[in-house]
Amino acid sequence: MKIIIIGDGKLGYNLAENLSKENNDVIIIDKNQEALKKAGEYLDVMCIKGNGLSTQILLEAGIKEADLLIAATASDEMNMVCCLTAKKLGATHTIARIRDPEYANELDQLKADLDLDMVINPEQAVAGEIARVIEFPPALNVEIFAKGRVVMMEMKVTPDMSIVDMSLNNISKMSDSGILIGGVLRDDTVIIPNGDFVIKEDDTIYVVGQPSKVVQFYRCIGIHVQKIKSVMVMGGGRIAYYLAKYLDEMEIKVKIIDIDRERCVELTELLPKALIICGDGTDESVLHSENLANMGAFVSVTGKDEENIIAALLAKQYGVQKVVAKINRIDYSLAINNMGIDSVISPKLITANYILKYVRGLQNAMGNPVDALYRIMDNRVEAIEFTANEHTKFLDTPLRDLKIIKGILIAAIVRKNEIIIPHGNDVIKADDNVILIAKDKKLTDLNDIIELGV
Amino acid sequence: MNYRMIFKSIGTVLCIEAACMLPSLLVAFIYREADTLSFAVSMFITAVTGFLLLRIKTPISRIYTRDGFAIVALGWLHVSAFGALPFLLSGSIPSVIDAFFESASGFSTTGASILRNVEALPKSILFWRSFTHWMGGIGVLILMIAILPSVNASTINIMKAESPGPAPGKLVPKIRQTAEILYIIYIVLTAIQVVLLLAGGMTIYDALIHAFGTASTGGFSSRNASVAAYSSVYTETVITVFMFLFGVNFTLYYMVFKRNIKSVLRDEELRFYFGVVITAIVLIVLNINGTVYQSIGESIRYAAFQVSSIITTTGYATADFNIWPAFSQVILVLLMFIGACAGSTGGGLKCIRVILLFKIIKREIAKLNHPKAVQTVKINGRIVDEETLSGVMAFFFFWILIFAVSVLIVSLDGKDLITSTTAVTATLNNIGPGLGLVGPVGNYADLSVLSKAVLSVCMIVGRLEIYPIMLLCFSSFWKRSSI
């Protein structure tokens, strides 16, 4: 596919990197030569220096044959106009980044008016992700499938859990609940386990199932699930705003700390229910006086990775049950994993997953729609959801008769309101949502899971 | 430095080189020449070395700019050395330094030769000589990029190091496709020329040899008298036109293919290149008409061929310009330095650099008039960043420096000034024939071993545009952890 990306910032670069690795022809347009230099040197993409709004530059980039244009410049308005121009010039699909909360309520209207195919709001997506992690406190990360009917939760196995040294077969007998352990990360090796696999201490496991069933599973293995009632958020940016909105819906109390007085005043207007504190969130005395130790969760979402890490560590010291930090640079992940911060949220990864999902969907326009795509375990494993339809070649065939490629696991099948953790006798029917876990593969179609020539 | 990756890449290139010896082997077979064995042995040695290097395990496949430069520089030195094997093994060129000179001249598309009597050599050896031209034309490593299945983004560093011009870029987003497109343009143009030469009555063998020589702007011929041996106006015209065409930036052909004719015609470098060619032809015609040649038709025929051959750095000759008046000779020497367009198969400084240098001078003078004026240098309406400009100036100085040092060493031979200077000019700029002893009817056989070695390096330095080879000379480049 031919994809044009306007704006070579953090998001643009990240998207270009991910999309070009999936064998798309990527062209980046940016005004800044310095930014383009890095992309030109490290990525297999073409760089054009110029204004992405200019018709001439867009034509030079070959907008007429472009399948997709992604506008990711710093300005929402610019992105909108870019997409509008691109559509007029012949781009097939357009995606704009629009992140100003003021537009958030009018997104549907904007999408229709500007003929946008998709709007990405990284801050809102990040806030959503954080809200989910807070909703299920034992989980390090939560991904949702089938509009929330199925979740996949990441958790670390600790010695006090009853599942240590048990095989998966025994675990499913013991817990007797409709869950599946779809992936295990043990000392940097990725395992898609089978029934005989034995869970060890310190494994990171991915549990797939209905939310209520997963919570039940937690109880069964001895994790005390306590609902979080109050959250302290450090940093009053856009993520904090969206997060406060989500948490408000979940009836969780929010306390936001920000250092900028003007922003604090602004927030009091935007978020009447939240408590806004003006102060330095990395200052221990401020955190102390704001009663950090008694908060249910602590979330650090300032613009600086380092501050977020420090504040999160501090909160952990105080014994906060759930600590979440936003970290932009993925390269830190190795160092951070061992620090004890419960959940690390990377806006880059979340948005990249979002767009990859959309692009994969475009690539198999004739096949099965892609409903969700998450990349887990340092991008080595994908969890992807397809809708089965008349194009699926193996409808109504018992799974035991299918030759599924090694490294792919059918984690769950969602049929209307029924959630099936599949066994050999189960079949896939039309309109089912099928959730797959795939190691070292890039799936673009449901039919790809079957070995060729069978 | 990613040594493993560097040597693995060299292994790949050697395997490709071994495969490229196959056509010559075939020629030897067809003409039932005794060299079949020497080609088979050369192929074997090259392929085995290549395979051994390919077995190197590379835990890190990422290559940075300096790794790319090292791959290109060492790759070219290896390719030239292994390319000399057929000459040595067949006994056609018994001396090692002569064989290396001939091979380097082939791959760098120079066309300078140490052979006194070309026609005495076996056909397969001559074919190999010309085929090295054709491989070196666009680039051996770009060939590698085009045919290898696994190419990662960092390969751009190899392409940057091998492609001529101040800022080589991609035609399409994917580097592999870019390399493929370049080779397709190259192959198609070569094929058209072969057909046209055949139509003029050449044998298929001669047509191939001369098409290879033209396409790569190399200049090896299968005849002692070069293209003059055919004394056919048609053949000369075809070769004149195609030499000119191969001196044009290949990006423009891609733009023609994309029906973007308007920007092709507006291209500043193309206009400059065309302007220089026409001016040079007119001046030389005015100079030689009536003195060397009697009719205006003859003057134009010879002037056009020689100008086209020299500016594109091909080096074919239909006239002995050693006997032309000094004015015409000086024009030809100046053309040698200008060279063809960036992104073509030609050598020299490249038109684009000359244009930029002129614009820089113009800006300096304008600054004296308006000291506070903000002025930028533009090409095709786009601003050229200051980094590129200072790069061009540094490059120009480096070029002159290498020229001066090489002339100094070559002058130790005690040959006359014209021979010494033009020998370096003709090799550094990848042309082939110079003036004096190394003129169009002469050759490089009489020079000393030292001069031949220096000139061989000059050819590769010129083809790779200095930096890759010069980088090898600095010890800081080789240190495992340099700061």
Q: What is the mean pLDDT of residues B395-412?
A: 94
Sheet with A408-415, edge to edge strand ranges: A370-376, A381-387, A433-439, A408-415, A418-420
Contacts of B157 in chain A (CB under 8 A): 41
Do residues A235 and A278 touch, judged by C-beta distance below 8 A?
no
Alpha-carbon span B330 to B335, nearest angstrom? 9
CATH code of the domain containing A248: 3.40.50.720
The region of weakest confidence among A22-36, A155-169, B351-365 is: A155-169
Concatenated DSSP letters for B355-410? HHHHHHHHHHHHHHH-TT-----EETTEEPPHHHHHHHHHHHHHHHHHHHHHHHHH
Alpha-carbon span B173 to A46, nearest angstrom? 4
B163 in contact with chain A, both atoms CB, cutoff 8 A = no
The region of weakest confidence among A295-299, B54-58, B280-284 is: B54-58
Residues A103 and A45 in one domain: yes
Which tokens belong to A135? 């909703």
Count of Cβ atoms closer than 10 Å to residue B231 Cβ: 10
Asked if pLDDT for residue A421 goes beyond 90, the answer is no
Residues A41 and A19 in one domain: yes
Do A20 and B170 count as a contact with CB atoms less than 8 A apart? no
Give exposure, B158-180, as e/b (b: 16+ Cβ within 10 Å).
Answer: bbbbbbbbbbbbbbbbbbbbbbb
Q: What is the mean pLDDT of residues B191-199?
A: 95
How many CB pairs below 8 Å do chains A and B form together?
32
**What pLDDT, in 10s, does the model give residues B94-119?**
899 999 999 999 999 998 889 888 88
Query: How far A362 CA sits from the closest chain B CA (Å)?
Result: 19
B153 in contact with chain A, both atoms CB, cutoff 8 A = yes
Contacts of B145 in chain A (CB under 8 A): none
Alpha-carbon span A377 to A206, nearest angstrom? 10
In the chain, the amino acid numbered A38 is K
Q: What is the mean pLDDT of residues A435-442?
A: 84
Confidence label for A177 from pLDDT (cuts 50, 70 and 90): low
B173 in contact with chain A, both atoms CB, cutoff 8 A = yes
**What pLDDT, in 10s, does the model give residues A32-56?**
888 888 888 888 888 888 888 888 8
Which tokens belong to A401? 């008769």
Residues A234 and A269 in one domain: yes
For residue B173, give the nearest of A33, A42, A46 by CB distance: A46
Residues with Cβ < 8 Å from A84, sequence gap 6 or more?
Answer: A114, A115
Residues A192 and A281 in one domain: no
Which tokens belong to A438? 């795939």
Q: Which residue of A has its CA nearest to B152?
A: A44
Residues A11 and A115 in one domain: yes
Query: How far B175 CA sits from the closest chain A CA (Å)?
Result: 6
Residues A192 and A249 in one domain: no
Q: What is the mean pLDDT of residues A59-78?
A: 90
For residue B172, give the nearest of A20, A25, A49 by CB distance: A25
Contacts of A26 in chain B (CB under 8 A): 173
Higher pLDDT, B188 or B142: B188
Residue A36 maps to a domain: yes
Residues A32 and A47 in one domain: yes
Residues A386 and A322 in one domain: no
Residue A255 maps to a domain: yes
Question: How is chain B split among helix, strand and coil, in percent rounded to 5?
Answer: 70, 0, 30
The total of structural domains in chain A comes to 4
Question: For chain B, what is the mean pLDDT?
Answer: 89
Query: How far B62 CA sits from the closest chain A CA (Å)?
Result: 9
Which tokens belong to A372? 């969700």
Query: How far B471 CA sits from the closest chain A CA (Å)?
Result: 19
**What pLDDT, in 10s, does the model give residues B203-220?**
999 999 999 999 999 889
Could you give the count of Cα atoms lying within 13 Å of B416 in the half-sphere of its Cβ?
8
Residues A234 and A339 in one domain: yes
Which contacts qualify for B268-273: CB closer than 8 Å, 24 or more apart?
Answer: B268/B355, B268/B379, B268/B380, B269/B341, B269/B342, B269/B351, B269/B352, B269/B355, B269/B379, B270/B341, B272/B351, B272/B354, B272/B355, B273/B247, B273/B248, B273/B311, B273/B340, B273/B341, B273/B351
Alpha-carbon span A243 to B284, nearest angstrom? 78
Domain boundary among A345, A376, A408: A345
Which pLDDT belongs to residue B63?
A: 79
Do B173 and A42 count as a contact with CB atoms less than 8 A apart? no
Q: Which residue of A has its CA nearest to B62?
A: A42
Q: Which residue of B has its CA nearest to A45?
A: B173
Alpha-carbon span A123 to A241, nearest angstrom? 9
Strands (E), B242-377: none
* pTM attached to this predicted model: 0.82
Which pLDDT belongs to residue B104?
A: 94
Concatenated DSSP letters for A255-320? EEEES-HHHHHHHHHH-TTSEEEES-TT-HHHHHHTTGGG-SEEEE--S-HHHHHHHHHHHHHTT-
Phi then psi dihedrals of residue A163, to 5 deg:
-85, -5
Q: Which of A231-245, A440-454, B369-383 is the most confident on average?
A: A231-245
Residue A211 maps to a domain: yes
Q: What is the mean pLDDT of residues B353-378?
A: 91
Pairing of strands A297-300, A189-191: unpaired
Instruction: Count the residues in chain A.
Output: 454
Do A43 and B152 count as a contact with CB atoms less than 8 A apart? no
Count of Cβ atoms closer than 10 Å to residue A325 Cβ: 29
Alpha-carbon span B93 to B115, nearest angstrom? 8
The total of structural domains in chain B comes to 1
**Domain span including residue B132:** 1-483
Which pLDDT belongs to residue B126?
A: 92
Domain boundary among A95, A120, A145: A120
DSSP state letter for B286: H
- Residue A88 host element (H or E): helix A76-89
β-strand partners of A376? A381
Give the percent of chain B with pLDDT over 70.
97
Q: What is the mean pLDDT of residues B340-357?
A: 91
For residue A44, give the nearest of B65, B169, B175 by CB distance: B175
**What pLDDT, in 10s, does the model give residues A146-162?**
888 888 888 888 888 88
Helices (H) then strands (E): counts for chain A: 15, 22
C-alpha distances in Å from residue A435, one per residue of A143, B139, B394: 12, 48, 59
CATH code of the domain containing A181: 3.30.70.1450
Residue with tokens 């031209």: B133
Residues A361 and A341 in one domain: no
Query: How far A63 CA sits from the closest chain B CA (Å)?
Result: 13
Do B154 and A46 count as a contact with CB atoms less than 8 A apart? no
Give exposure, B351-377, as e/b (b: 16+ Cβ within 10 Å).
Answer: bbbbbbbebbeeeeeeeeeeeeeeeeb
Question: What ipTM goes with this model?
Answer: 0.75
B172 in contact with chain A, both atoms CB, cutoff 8 A = yes
Residues of A with a Cβ under 8 Å from any B Cβ are 2, 20, 25-27, 33, 40-46, 49
Alpha-carbon span B437 to B435, nearest angstrom? 6
B378 in contact with chain A, both atoms CB, cutoff 8 A = no
For residue A43, give the nearest of B153, B169, B177 by CB distance: B153
Count of Cβ atoms closer than 10 Å to residue A196 Cβ: 9
Contacts of B173 in chain A (CB under 8 A): 2, 20, 25-27, 44-46
- Residue A375 host element (H or E): strand A370-376
Contacts of A49 in chain B (CB under 8 A): 382
Residue A454 maps to a domain: no
For residue A45, give the nearest of B154, B173, B177 by CB distance: B173
Alpha-carbon span B167 to B249, nearest angstrom? 12
Asked if pLDDT for residue A137 goes beyond 60, the answer is yes
Alpha-carbon span B377 to B476, nearest angstrom? 34
Q: Which residue of A has its CA nearest to B159?
A: A41
B170 in contact with chain A, both atoms CB, cutoff 8 A = yes
Pairing of strands A46-49, A25-30: parallel
Alpha-carbon span B322 to B88, nearest angstrom? 32
Q: Where are the alpha helices (DSSP H) in B110-167?
A: 123-138, 140-147, 156-162
Alpha-carbon span B126 to B131, nearest angstrom? 9
In the chain, the amino acid numbered B231 is S
Could you give the count of Cα atoms lying within 13 Å of A148 in the half-sphere of its Cβ?
5
Residues A306 and A266 in one domain: yes
Query: How far A59 CA sits from the closest chain B CA (Å)?
Result: 11
Alpha-carbon span A89 to A78, nearest angstrom? 16
For residue A44, give the nearest of B65, B153, B385 by CB distance: B153
Q: Which residue of A has its CA nearest to B151?
A: A44
Mutate to test the interface with A, among B160, B174, B380, B383 (most CBs of A within 10 A): B174
**Domain span including residue A150:** 127-220
Residues A23 and A68 in one domain: yes
Confidence label for B152 from pLDDT (cuts 50, 70 and 90): low
